[in-house]
Structures are given as structure tokens and as C-alpha cells.
Structure 1
């Protein structure tokens, strides 16, 4: 990898007097290459053997609860690369990254990148030319340097930094850590022991078609993706079949649920349309809906058989049942995944899937056993994931919450969730992010810890995704809080995305859990209106 860095570094015909002439350097038994670069007005250097490569500033995923010197995480050919600001590490003010800015990737078992203002050249010097000289360090801490290369008259001194010493204060965990194993998430304490009534509730994914809300059993949902901008049409498709798209190198047929239910086939392309990927036998089919809403867990007593009149529409699908929510004010049509298509349409869709060379990518056996499902939510421009198994439900943010005096800043208040008081934690505040002004898409992720429910307010819920084991890796340890809460990342190289995977068991530490338990014991039920 050092050869790539040598090729990427800019060379120069001029050399400092301390550098050996080209002919002598070729015969010199002990010499080093130094990558010379600039930060602000300083000329700094790194030994070439420390450098893996030099790249342009990449797209970054922001990591919360990290030291300010961490700019974010980048996807470097499948490797998660922490990128640090050398300006901030040295305590210098920020400056806008110009066209000359580069990231020097440091060659380690767990590599990291340093953002610098510019690359000057590659310099070959005798080893004894890199001398210890505290006075030559200038305003820099001499402890950060391997030494200095003194310039001749009219030339600046080059200060050779040691990358591990740069990390000793803010990133000690990062500098000492090798690649970590991507261990699975811990089970939320008590979640496995939910009461019997909770275990028998039906998990549903609700969505909109026009002004009506419908739902499908969550257990049949493999994932949820945004409607692709381009759908490839297929010869002589069924009326409801829109075409096929590629989902992680496999063909996925798309079916219009509007057509199946006999609605006008007006495909909604407002940016909110979603594809619900359903398991269908040994294959998978994408069902296009206007927008997804919530993940619900419903008491079977609130589900009634659908009136016969609703099963006699013009479409192929039938409404299997009606869910009565919010004391009957919210009626949700429950569809059966097995009865979603008439039998002849099922066979044709699956036959078409096989003819197009699609492999049943979501089979019950095989590699799918190692897959994990996550609810993906957003805070600002960053994606986060929580295991589906840890989510009790996903609800809309309440119009108002009851504020609690003397509560920690990250506690938004408490809300009434079907007769039970539930504290709401604002994840933006918990992660020390700026406040969100746009609140229309906010959702509350409800986690059941066994002793009670806690809601986590997020900007939006974007998708449900199934990730193979090879896409999940250990997150770099940049701080103790981050390492405990976010110790895995999903690196989707094909999409250029990094999803930070949250361990739900660590979402509240012991002190915060005690605070929430105190609020639960106060039981301010009488002061709360029913939602």
C-alpha cells in the first residue's frame, strides 16, 4: 500500500539541503521517504512506511458521541475508515477544505485517515537527517514529533509527526485497537421475559394507499426500500406487475397494491413511495405502496373479521380483517400475505421471477439464517439502525408531551401510550446534535425493557432492511460512550452508505435508567390525556 502513497504524493525537483542528492540516495544504505504536506502555514511530514495511500476527501458518515476531531467514517473499498481533522488534533482553527485537500490513510491493522490542506511532495532523506530538536518544533508539542528535517537558508523546517502520538489524548482507544470482532447486539434486559399478553400481540407494518391505512404482518416483511426511480418493464406482464428491479444483485418483481385492491393505478412518485419486500414461498415480491406509517403490536381482541362486502372489490386482493385502534377512531385494513394475490397471479409472478434468472434471495434456509433485520432511522443526514427484534412498535410523535420538572435535558417528557405512561428520550439531545426544526416526519421508537416501555424520538424512520453478516463489521472505537452504544456498522459499499448500528441494551446507561425508573414510579397517569 505504501507504493500507492508514493505514486499519489506530489514530487518536486527541489529538495531541502538535508536531503541526499539523487545519485547518492540510490547508494545510501539508510534512508527514508517522507510524505511532505501542509496544514495552515506549517510544513509537516510522515514517514512513507506509515502511509497506506492518499485519497480525495470522501463522503462521511457522522459518528455521535465522538471527539470533535473525528470528521466521520468513510467507506474505503469495504473498510470503515475513521477520518480525523489534523487541524483539530493540533488545536488549530478549522478552514474550508479546498480542492487541494487530501486524506492521508495511515497504514494500521485498523487504518484511519488524516485530513490535510495539501500534499507537497515525496522527499527522500537520510535517516540521520530526521533529528530530535525541541526548538525546531516551533509552536507544536515536541512530543507529537519523530523529529525535524532542518531546511537550508530560505527553506522551512519540515516537522515529521508520529501518527500514533497524535491520537494519544483524544483517540487512545483508536490508536491501540486492532480490528475488533463484530459481536452481535445484546438483548435488552428483561425483553425476553415480556408478559404473556405482550408475547401474543400481533406485529403489523402499516402503510397508506390514498387516504386509507392498511397493514401486513411484520413477520412476512423482509425489508422496505424506497421506490427506485427506474423500473424495468417485462414482456406481457400481468396488469398489477409494474416490472422488475435489481435488489442486491437479484431481480425483484414489483406489484402495484393499488391495482390489486382495485384502486385507480396512479403510481405515487412524491419521494415517499415505498416497496415492501414480502416473502412469498421460496421467493420474494415487492409490493408498492404510497408510504409506510408505523410498526404496531396489536392485541388480537382488537382485530375483527372484515365484512363480506369488503372482499368483493374489483381487485385481486382481499382485506382479511379490520384492526380497531385508538378506541375505534383508527381503522386499519389487515391484508393476508398468503391471500394478497390470487393463486394464478402468484404462480405467474414467481414463474416470471425465475425466467428472469432471479435467485430466491430471501429463502428460509441458507445464508438468510445469518441475516439480521434492522429498522433504519435518521437523525439529520445520518442513518442509524436498531434490530427489529428490539422494537416494540414505531409510533407517530405525539402532538404534545407532558414536561417533567428537573428532568435531564434529553428527556422530552412523557406521553400516554394506550393508557400507559411512557418517557420520551430525544435522541438528538442524547447524541448532542442540533435541534430538529422539521417535525412532520418524526417517529417514536418504542423499546420494551421488560420493566416498562421507553420511547426514543427520531427525525424519521426510512426503511426496514435485511443485512447479511458480511455487510456488518465492528465500529472503530473513538470514545468509550460510542464504543458501548455503537459497536457495529453496516457498510453498504454498493450504495455508498454507512449505517451506524445501535445496541438497544446500551441505549440507556444505568444512571439514565434509574432516572426513567423514578419517573415511572411517580405514575403521573391522572395528569395525562389519552392519546
Structure 2
């Protein structure tokens, strides 16, 4: 009988004359370096946003991540596009090749000397495909380090994506499961029934007269998703949702339901021999019982209860929630008939450090020239550049370059002050120039990639005008000032 050899596929590349590799499973494609727009308030390693066939692609410079001196982009430079739950691009000096590596040839990297810190290395490959030594980059660690504010929680989702993307066959005698905890007990669901795993949203719409087990509904990529609490479904004590909680989106045919769990644990590959039916004495109702099987892991010390998604969808409360979601969707579709007639949004476009930004036209009170000198008033907050008299009203003025940590520039005739009302306070922001008022179809406006908390709030959307070769970041004016800063402005105005 032949012994099966586990083979992994890697893409290899060079950074500062050293050879590295990442697992091929999440790699979507390799492209030349495109044009990019810079993103204020983002991690230093983020080079900017690029257009990838109509989608916005954040591009990360691995040299910056690894604290290596910058290198000019040349003909050899490439972007490796990777799907980590969110599509990201990684700049490397040069791509070498794709290699197949037997599991036995991968060694630990603890003793290897490299320009890259060991925390970013997953292992090392020696004497393969003409390479003396290739260091395997732990791309998850890179993301956790650079974007810990937003993306670290996606490690479970990436594990799920990676398992789905593997090209090797899953043997018939094994099952792939995703395990999670509810009230300190471990449960699992077959991976084929899991659509995705997402965070708890900021807003959940309550369903009137719903069963206690139904938390409400949320919007997931323009679809209404009913949410159920597994704690309530299983008759366990309720507790407040926290940042560890996740929504496991289950699918059965065309139906989808999100179930809230305390935390997601791991992706398991379990031999059939370790799975057995639940003892019949524990089944109250063979048709409706959600727990149908038990996994006995670690020599029976670890018991994982397996949930039947088909039985879960037969529950009365789940059926009612699905029906309510369907009704809600139909109502939204009716409401959208009028909105479709006005499928454009109007923006004021301005420039800052040769980058284009936009704000909804309704948020702009007015646009005025910058006077030769701004009046500096004692007791005004430090972040205020000065004040101007705007028709008898004292208007505090802030330099948007400073706000975005961009190098200052000398005043010139092109600069303008854009006046916004933020929490009932009028504030002016100096921009390099105001270029146009632009109507943008909703179909070209996307949710911005989330790269840091501050950036995600400031630039929640981006207009991707592919035909014009433009990416315009849309600013939320209300996020330009923090609550305490607005209070400082109000106090200084009262003193006046």
C-alpha cells in the first residue's frame, strides 16, 4: 500500500535579495504595480488604494512591514493579491516561481538568521526547486501586526477560507467542521453549511413579537439576515454580546440564518471513526433535535456536539424569522423603487496633497477663499489654525493637511475654506483646492477597506471611477472632529 505524501503549493518571491514564500491557497493573482491613491490615517505600510477590475485594492509594502529600507518600484516589482477575508495586495521586489513542497521538507524557522523577524516566519524550506533556503512568511501575523485594530479578528475567517480553498481532496472518511463555544461548551457545524463568519454589527433591527431566541435582523451585503441566539435556542442563560462573539452564517439551499456564538474556536478535520450518533436516550424529538452527533477528540477527553443545520432550519422560531426577513426584503424592494429613480449622489470634490477627496454636497455649508492672514484668538484650541469673520460670525478654521498628518504647504490662491456644520458647530477646513461638483452613480460607490478605526470612520466609502482612472475617497465630515474637540470649540465660542 502506497503512503500518501502531503504536498503544499507556495509562491516564492524576493525581498532585499532573500527568498520568501507564502501558501498559494489564498493567492488570487500576481499583478504589476498599479497607480494608487494615498490613505490618510492608515498604517505606514499601506502604500494606498488601487483599482483592480472595478474593486478597490489596498496595497501593503512588505519592506515597510519588515522595517527594511525602501526601494524604488521597477519593472520587476509585483503585487501579490491575496484573499484574507478581505482582498489585499502585497508589494514584493520580484516574484520567482510557484513550487510544490512536501510537508516533510518544511522545517521550523527558529534558528534561521534573516532580515525578517522570526515572528513573521512560519517555517523554512531547504533545497527545493533550486533554492538553498526559502523562508515561509506567516501572512496572518503580518495582518495582525499591521492592522490589529480592524483585521486581527478575521484570523478565524481566514482559517475557514484557507480550508475551503485548499486543492487537496478531503477523504471520504473525514469531515471538515468549524467548532465554536456557547456557554463554555464546544459545538461544531459541517463546513459546507457555513457561508461565512462575521462580527456582531453595530445595529441589529429588532423583530416585533419574535420568539426570545430571535435577536433580530441585520444587513449583510445588501441582504436581510435573520439572527438567532444559540444560547436561547439551547435554553442556556443569556449574556450580553461582546467583542469575542461572532455570527456564524448558516446556509441551506437558498435560505440563510446567522447564529450568534460566544466565540469561534477552530477548523477541524475529523475522521468518521471519531464521530458517533448521539445516544437515543438523549433525543427528545428525533425530527427536531439540533444535536445529532458527538465527536470524541483527544482520546475522549474533548467532546464536541455536532449541530444538524437541516434540523435547526425546521424549528418554528427559525422559520418565522426567515419569513419576517423575506417580508422585510419585499418592503425594502418597494421602497427602493423610488430610490432607483435617483441612483446618483452629488459630491463636492477637492484636492489635498495631489489626492482627490469628496464630501456629500448637503454637508457643505459654503466654500470661501482663504484670507491673507488668519486671526489668532487667545484661548482657542491648539488644533485651530485661526478664525475668520464670516458675515458677522467668528468661524474657527482648521488646516485639513494637519488633520490628516500631511506636510504643510504655503498659502496660495488656489486654497479654499470648506465650511461644515459638525454637531451644530460651524467649522472651516482649509483644502488645497476645490475642483468640481460631481454626480456619482451609487453603483460606483463602495465601502472602503477597513484599515484602522480612525480611517474607517473618516473614509467609510470610496468612489471607484474605473473608466476615468480615478479613486475618490469620500469623507464623513462629522468624523473630522472628536467629541471633546467640538466641546473645546463650543467653550471657546462661549468665552468670546
TM-score (norm 2): 0.60
> Could you tell me whether the CA contact under 8 Å between 2:54 and 2:466 is conserved in 1?
yes
Deviation of 1:501 (Å): 0.7
Match of 1:485 among 453, 458, 478: 458
1:225-264 counterparts in 2 under 5 A?
none
Query: Residue 460 in 1 paired to residue 395 in 2?
Result: no
Cα deviations by residue, 1:393-421 (Å, 9 ceiling, x for unpaired): 11111221112457555421000001100
Cα deviations by residue, 1:244-268 (Å, 9 ceiling, x for unpaired): xxxxxxxxxxxxxxxxxxxxxxxxx
Query: Residue 503 in 1 paired to residue 476 in 2?
Result: yes
The verdict on how the C-alpha distance between 1:41 and 1:406 changes in structure 2, with shifts beyond 3 A counting, is farther
The verdict on how the C-alpha distance between 1:32 and 1:391 changes in structure 2, with shifts beyond 3 A counting, is same
Structure 1: stretches of 5+ with no match in the other structure: 1-26, 184-363, 524-531
Deviation of 1:511 (Å): 2.1
Deviation of 1:516 (Å): 1.6
Cα deviations by residue, 1:19-58 (Å, 9 ceiling, x for unpaired): xxxxxxxx97421221110001221111111211101111
The verdict on how the C-alpha distance between 1:152 and 1:462 changes in structure 2, with shifts beyond 3 A counting, is closer
Match of 1:430 among 382, 387, 403: 403
CA–CA distance in structure 2, aligned partners of residues 154 and 54 of structure 1: 22
CA–CA distance in structure 2, aligned partners of residues 392 and 66 of structure 1: 28
Match of 1:393 among 366, 387, 406: 366
The verdict on how the C-alpha distance between 1:476 and 1:56 changes in structure 2, with shifts beyond 3 A counting, is same
Cα deviations by residue, 1:112-162 (Å, 9 ceiling, x for unpaired): 011011111221111221222311253533332221102389954211112
The verdict on how the C-alpha distance between 1:477 and 1:366 changes in structure 2, with shifts beyond 3 A counting, is closer
CA–CA distance in structure 2, aligned partners of residues 451 and 162 of structure 1: 48
Secondary structure at 2:427's aligned position in 1? strand
CA–CA distance in structure 2, aligned partners of residues 470 and 107 of structure 1: 23
CA–CA distance in structure 1, aligned partners of residues 152 and 27 of structure 2: 15
Match of 2:108 among 128, 132, 135: 132
> Could you tell me whether the CA contact under 8 Å between 1:106 and 1:163 is conserved in 2?
no
CA–CA distance in structure 2, aligned partners of residues 75 and 153 of structure 1: 34
Name the residue aligned to 1:163: 139
CA–CA distance in structure 1, aligned partners of residues 22 and 129 of structure 2: 23
CA–CA distance in structure 2, aligned partners of residues 366 and 159 of structure 1: 53
Structure 2: stretches of 5+ with no match in the other structure: 158-195, 202-336
CA–CA distance in structure 2, aligned partners of residues 128 and 493 of structure 1: 46
The verdict on how the C-alpha distance between 1:152 and 1:48 changes in structure 2, with shifts beyond 3 A counting, is closer
Secondary structure at 1:436's aligned position in 2? coil
Name the residue aligned to 2:488: 515
Secondary structure at 1:435's aligned position in 2? coil
Secondary structure at 2:486's aligned position in 1? helix
Name the residue aligned to 1:33: 9
Secondary structure at 1:149's aligned position in 2? strand
Name the residue aligned to 2:65: 89
> Could you tell me whether the CA contact under 8 Å between 2:101 and 2:128 is conserved in 1?
no
Secondary structure at 1:128's aligned position in 2? helix
Deviation of 1:452 (Å): 3.1
> Could you tell me whether the CA contact under 8 Å between 1:445 and 1:455 is conserved in 2?
yes
Name the residue aligned to 1:402: 375
Deviation of 1:370 (Å): 3.2
Name the residue aligned to 1:329: none
Query: Residue 419 in 1 paired to residue 395 in 2?
Result: no
Secondary structure at 2:56's aligned position in 1? strand
Deviation of 1:170 (Å): 2.1
Query: Residue 62 in 1 paired to residue 26 in 2?
Result: no
Secondary structure at 1:46's aligned position in 2? strand
Comparing 442-451 with 41-50, greater Cα deviation is found at: 442-451
> Could you tell me whether the CA contact under 8 Å between 1:174 and 1:476 is conserved in 2?
no
CA–CA distance in structure 2, aligned partners of residues 137 and 31 of structure 1: 26
Secondary structure at 2:487's aligned position in 1? helix
Name the residue aligned to 1:43: 19
Name the residue aligned to 1:6: none
Secondary structure at 2:144's aligned position in 1? coil
Match of 2:74 among 66, 84, 98: 98
- Choose between structure 1 and 2: higher strand proportion: 2
Match of 1:443 among 416, 424, 428: 416
> Could you tell me whether the CA contact under 8 Å between 2:22 and 2:136 is conserved in 1?
yes
CA–CA distance in structure 2, aligned partners of residues 385 and 487 of structure 1: 12
Name the residue aligned to 1:371: 344
Deviation of 1:480 (Å): 1.3
> Could you tell me whether the CA contact under 8 Å between 1:409 and 1:429 is conserved in 2?
no
> Could you tell me whether the CA contact under 8 Å between 1:475 and 1:486 is conserved in 2?
yes
Name the residue aligned to 2:84: 108
For this pair of structures, how many residues does the alignment match? 317
CA–CA distance in structure 2, aligned partners of residues 408 and 119 of structure 1: 50
Secondary structure at 1:49's aligned position in 2? coil
The verdict on how the C-alpha distance between 1:366 and 1:151 changes in structure 2, with shifts beyond 3 A counting, is same
> Could you tell me whether the CA contact under 8 Å between 2:109 and 2:135 is conserved in 1?
no
CA–CA distance in structure 2, aligned partners of residues 36 and 366 of structure 1: 49
